[in-house]
Amino acid sequence: MLDLDAIMETIIDSAVEGIAIVDTQGIIVFLNKAYENILGVKKEDAIGRHVTEVIDFTRLHIVIKTGIPEIGEIQQIRGKNTIVQRLPIIKNGQIIAGVGKVIFKNEEEVQDIIHKLETKVKYLESELNNLFAAKYSAVKLAISRGGHQSWRGSYEQDFFHTGEFVKKNS
C-alpha cells in the first residue's frame, strides 16, 4: 500500500517554489526546503509558530480569514520583492488551511521570462511574415506565368484576408 502522505510531502518538499501551509489559526504546519532557503529559517524553527512571526509582510493569515485568494502579489521577503500567491484550502465549504507560495524569488526572474517570451514572439512574427511573403511570391509567380484568372482571384482574396488579420492583430 502506498503512503500517499509521504509521497505528497516529498513532492511538495522538492518543489522549487517556496511553499508554506498554515492551519486556520495561521500557525505554520509545513514549510518546504525552498521556502527555508528563501527565508533563511529552518523548518523546525518555523513549524508551530504564527506565520507573521516567520514570514515578513505576509497576508496568509488574512487569506484564511477572508477566504479570498491573492495571486501574483508582490511581497517583500528579506529585502527582496518576490511574487507570491496565497490561497485558502477549502473542504466541504469550510476553510481548513491556507497555502502560501513564492512563485518568483525576485523581479529579475520575471524580467527573464518576459524577455524570453518577447524573443519568442519576435521570432514567430518573423516566421509568419516569411510565410506570407512566400505565399504572395507564389501568387505573383503564377500570375506572371499566365495563371488562371479564377485561381488568381481566390489566392489574392485569401492572401489579403489573411494579411488584414495579421495587421489587425499585430
Give the pLDDT confidence of 61-79 residue by residue, as tens digits.
999 999 999 999 989 988 8
The tens digit of pLDDT for each residue in 26-64 reads: 999 999 999 999 999 999 999 999 999 999 999 999 999
Report yes or no: 38 and 105 within 8 Å, Cβ to Cβ: yes
pLDDT of residue 92: 96
Residue from 54, 57, 65, 56 nearest 29 by CA: 54
Q: Specify the residue for cell string 505554520.
A: 28
C-alpha span between 152 and 149 (Å, rounded)? 5
Q: What is the pLDDT of residue 2?
A: 80
pTM of the model: 0.64
pLDDT of residue 136: 64
CA atoms of 38 and 40, how far apart (whole Å): 6
List the one residue out of 59, 82, 80, 77 whose CA is nearest residue 69. Answer: 59
Q: Could you give the CA distance from residue 69 to residue 56 in angstroms, rounded to a whole number? A: 18
